[in-house]
Amino acid sequence: MDLLQPVIKPYAWGSHEALARLQGRRTPSAGPEAELWMGAHPSGPAGMTRGGRELTLLDAVSGGPERELGAACARRFGGRLPFLLKVLAAEQPLSIQVHPDREQARSAFAAQQADGRHGPYADGWPKPELLCALSRFEVLAGFRGREEAVRVLEDLEVGRLHPVVALLRAGAGDQVLTDALRAVLEWPRDDRAALVRGVVESCRRRARPDGPHAEAYAAVERMSRHHPGDLGLVASLLLNHRVLEPGEALFMPAGGLHAYVRGVGLELLANSDNVLRAGLTAKEVNVPELLRITNPAVHVPEVTPTSVPGPGSTQLYDCPVEEFSLHRTRLDGQGGPLVPSAGPRIAFCADGWVRLRAGRTDHLGLGAGDSCFLSASDDSVLVEGEGTLFVAAAGLSPAGRGPLR
């Protein structure tokens, strides 16, 4: 068991309070703190101390994949820890984005490398995601149904939107939603400012508590303060607007268009940094590639945790991917065997205090904001205390017969 030193990503949309408060540091922080990375991605591997030596989790996994991951997991994922655990603290909206599936990422990244050119793909791995809210978390996730999208746009009474509404009305099937998104994102440059201005002004007038689509309109008005003139403000109205309460979760499959608006949440994802963006960001956007990867038929389902055997109250957030799984255990003075019990795991204490014990001498305490890595060789681990512990692990085997170990 290794206590981790997570990496803080200081993206501009981050909070000056949330991560510092979670870790018990002085607030406000000197700059925005957006993401807390607990994993072995090359762009931000967590630190650790083992045998008196400072190293990273990436160093440890690379130095002994079978020992750290287990033979099956190391073989399936090429000696790479397949998941990355983060805490997101969004004070401002994140970009409208989509992530590729395995084959799309592999082929596109290989093509980039063969051409020796810079491109939008950071690696050759997919990036499905699970977001579990730690506070109320506002998201835009998946396309609205066609008829609902028509109502949301029509109710704004913005004349410039009539071609998009007509496109939606005339179309059939899911592809018309991507066609509408394309029409917005490829809007004529000399008319973009007027379109966005008209939509934002109409959203401001209609964001009253008793009005239809009020929350979605209010989100556009708020986001416009951070991204004035951005076509993503218009595009956001094509997406479902949701607010997750603490403990509620969404699964983001490959091809699912989404944007995080505000809140603090735990994000578990495949160990990749492949993001294709189309708006609400100062980072590089790639509209043609985002439109190619976006799958309008992909829905972003809510994941309802189910009770499983374990100490205290243990629940599984079940997702149909082999890269990761997530368990949440709430302890109230109880103890018992850690779940899951095998394979590579990262444990994160969201609140309270817990102790992990392996054998007679290996003990590790975690307070709020602390995390640790448990390798495949760390078996028979017991947990006790009073608090909430999330445990990220590899997901199901390709045949779906059980966890990869």
The predicted-structure confidence for 120-159, as pLDDT tens digits, reads as follows 998 999 999 999 999 999 999 999 999 999 999 999 999 9
Residue 4 buriedness (CB in 10 A; 0-12 / 13-18 / 19+): buried
| Predicted confidence (pLDDT) at residue 267 exceeds the cutoff of 60 | yes
The verdict on residue 203 lying in a domain is: yes
Omega before residue 28 within 30° of 0, cis: yes
Last residue of a domain, one of 238, 268, 283: 238
Query: One of 277, 330, 345, 405 is an active-site residue; which one?
Result: 277
Total domains in the fold of the chain? 2
The verdict on residue 94 lying in a domain is: no
Q: Give the pLDDT confidence of 203-252 residue by residue, as tens digits.
A: 999 988 778 899 999 999 999 999 999 999 999 999 999 999 999 999 99
pLDDT computed for residue 353 by the predictor: 96
Q: Which residues contact 160 (CB under 8 A, 6 or more apart)?
A: 191, 194, 195, 198
The verdict on residue 293 lying in a domain is: no
- Asked if 272 and 123 touch (Cβ cutoff 8 Å), the reply is yes
192 catalytic, yes or no?
Answer: no
Q: Where are the beta strands (DSSP E) in 57-105?
A: 83-90, 96-98
Percent above pLDDT 90 for the chain: 89
The verdict on residue 87 lying in a domain is: no
Q: Which residues contact 180 (CB under 8 A, 6 or more apart)?
A: 149, 164, 167, 168, 171, 238
Last residue of a domain, one of 222, 238, 254: 238
The verdict on residue 160 lying in a domain is: yes
The verdict on residue 72 lying in a domain is: no
Domain range holding 384? 306-393
Q: Hey, is 194 helix, strand or coil?
A: helix
Last residue of a domain, one of 238, 259, 280: 238
Quick one: 234 and 310 in the same domain? no
- Asked if 229 and 353 touch (Cβ cutoff 8 Å), the reply is no
What CATH number corresponds to the domain at position 345? Answer: 2.60.120.10
Quick one: 148 and 232 in the same domain? yes
The verdict on residue 209 lying in a domain is: yes
Distance CA(351)–CA(385), nearest Å, equals 11
The verdict on residue 85 lying in a domain is: no
